Structures are given as C-alpha cells and as structure tokens.
C-alpha cells in the first residue's frame, strides 16, 4: 500500500513505515534511547530526503520517549531535578543547532553535513558499545567478576553552584549536566536524534548517576528536547512531513511497549552486542552511499559560458 508524502515529495509503502517506527520503538523500550539515531538514516534508505528525515524523525522520538518515560515514572526511576537541568541545557543547544542547520541549508551543504555526522557519531558509538559489550560477555562466560571502581572525586565535584539530586544520590554542580544537555540539544537539531545514545553514557560515566535512574531521566529530557526541536524545524524550515510522522508514531508507540517487556527477559550483554552491530551496519551503509558513485550522474552548467 503506497502512500504519498507531500513534504518529502515521494511515495513509500505504509507497512514499511510502520515497520521502521515499530522496530525503532522496540529498541527505545529496551535501551532507553529515543531511537532517532537509527530512524533518521533508515528514512534515508527508503528515499526520504535528509532534511525531511531529520525534522520528521524527531516526531517518532517524541512518541516513543513519552511511552517509555511514563512507564519509568510509574516505577519512580526518574530523577526529575536532574531532568529539568538537562532539559534547560537541551533547549539552549537545540536553538544553536537549528541556527546551524538553517545556515548549512542556505549554503546547500546540509545533506552532506547530516550524513557525515551520522558516519562519525555512529562509527564511534558503535565501536565503543561493541568493545564494552564483548568484554562484558567474555567476563560473564569466564565467570570473572568485573572490577569495582572506587568512587573518587573528579573535577566535576569541584565546580561551583552545587545542587542536590536526591534520586541519584548526587551533590554536584549544575554546570556538567547543563553542558551535557546543550550538546544533546545541538545533536537533536542537526541529526534528528533524541540524543539518548550520548546522554546515557554521559550520565553514567561523567555525572556518576546510578543506572536505575539513568534510562528514565534520559527519556524525560529526550521527550521535551525532541518536541521543541520538531516545533522549531516546522516553524523555520517547514520540513516536517505530518503524514510520515503519523505512521512512524503509531509504530513507535506500539514498539516501545513491546521493547520494555522484551528488555526485561533477554540478556543485557547479548542485547548490547546486537545493538552495537546494528549501529555499525547503519554507519557502514551511510558511508558506502557517500563514497560510492551514484547510478545516475548529474552536472550543472551555465549555457553560453561565463
């Protein structure tokens, strides 16, 4: 069943869109990521222009994140004060990212910038995830317990304007989470991602938050930043395709609920390795498309010569 996407100016199979949204929603529920880092490149692959994929892909991130964060709020695994600080930074970052996105659009370089960003970030994140997951899997099979790192004070703990985050058991400056939020907001605007794949590791390793509240707090921030970014893209670029968004959202909401249940039953190490391989595969496909000459070459020339 083909449907016409008016903003993207292309026809796509409706079940393909539902499948893309549902698959990414499952990953959102299992890993606490909005899923934009996969849904946007997947939209590239089915023929949606990068500018429309970025602006519209964030809609699905909002839907799947809302679904996930509601589940975590019921379990009381969301650090709301930390979430509000991260959100403040995220909104600032989103405004900066939208400005850069518009600048690159005017220069005609936005498609290249978006795809290069995905190759770089997915390559780095996928390689790190695969390395860490493989080590954890080998430790589990050999029966050796991972070494526990002693909690030591770092530069993060010496910064001013400290604030108590009771759910996380932290007393740190607001600057590190604020700066993490700014970085995630910039990525959300340029790449059409929620930023969970950067936010979750930063919350664990940089801020020192306990794992039990990281996923819920991440989804809380991702929900609002993604919603704000979508609104800004709609106002400034008019590249949000509502028809495309509806199909992605329907699939995403259903998939997130399935993913939350599946994630509780399967082994964490195996899941992380599979996600890492998927991320690396998507990265490789985008890099291949950038480097391989297209089937039909076009050239632009001025008649009469200057």
- Cα 29 vs. chain centroid, distance in angstroms? 13
pLDDT of residue 274: 75
- Alpha carbons 286 and 193: distance in angstroms, whole number: 16
pLDDT of residue 96: 92
Q: How many CB atoms lie within 10 A of CB 24?
A: 28
Question: Which residue ranges of the chain lie beneath pLDDT 70?
Answer: 28-29, 31-36, 60, 63-64, 143-159, 194, 263-271, 294-306
Question: pTM score > 0.95 for this model?
Answer: no
What b/e string do you get for 141-166 counting C-beta neighbours within 10 Å, with b at 16 or more?
eeeeeeeeeeeeeeeeeeeeeeeebe
pLDDT of residue 284: 87
**Cα→Cα distances 276→26, 100, 192, Å:** 15, 29, 20
- Alpha carbons 68 and 42: distance in angstroms, whole number: 21
């Amino acid at each position: 069943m083909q449907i016409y996407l008016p903003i993207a100016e292309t026809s796509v199979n409706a079940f393909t869109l539902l499948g893309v949204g549902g698959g990414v929603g499952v990953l959102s529920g299992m890993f606490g990521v909005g899923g934009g880092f996969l849904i946007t490149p997947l939209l590239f692959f089915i023929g949606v222009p990068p500018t429309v994929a970025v602006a519209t892909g964030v809609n699905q991130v909002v839907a799947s994140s809302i679904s996930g964060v509601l589940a975590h709020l019921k379990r009381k695994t969301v650090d709301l004060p930390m979430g509000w600080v991260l959100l403040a930074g995220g909104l600032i970052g989103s405004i900066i990212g939208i400005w850069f996105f518009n600048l690159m659009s005017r220069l005609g370089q936005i498609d290249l910038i978006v795809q290069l960003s995905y190759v770089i970030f997915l390559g780095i994140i996928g390689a790190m995830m695969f390395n860490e997951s493989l080590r954890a899997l080998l430790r589990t099979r050999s029966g050796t317990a991972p070494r526990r790192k002693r909690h030591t004070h770092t530069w993060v703990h010496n910064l001013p304007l400290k604030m108590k985050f009771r759910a996380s058991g932290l007393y740190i400056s607001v600057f590190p989470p604020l700066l993490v939020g700014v970085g995630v907001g910039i990525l959300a605007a340029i790449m059409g991602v929620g930023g969970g794949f950067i936010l979750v590791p930063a919350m664990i390793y940089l801020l020192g938050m306990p794992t039990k509240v990281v996923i819920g707090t991440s989804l809380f921030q991702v929900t609002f930043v993604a919603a704000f970014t979508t609104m800004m893209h709609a106002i400034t670029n008019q590249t949000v395709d509502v028809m495309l968004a509806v199909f992605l959202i329907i699939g995403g909401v259903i998939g997130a609920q399935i993913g939350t249940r599946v994630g509780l039953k399967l082994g964490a190490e195996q899941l992380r390795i599979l996600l890492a391989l998927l991320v690396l595969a998507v990265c490789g496909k985008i890099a291949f498309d950038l480097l391989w000459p297209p089937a039909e070459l076009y050239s632009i020339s001025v008649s009469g010569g200057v």
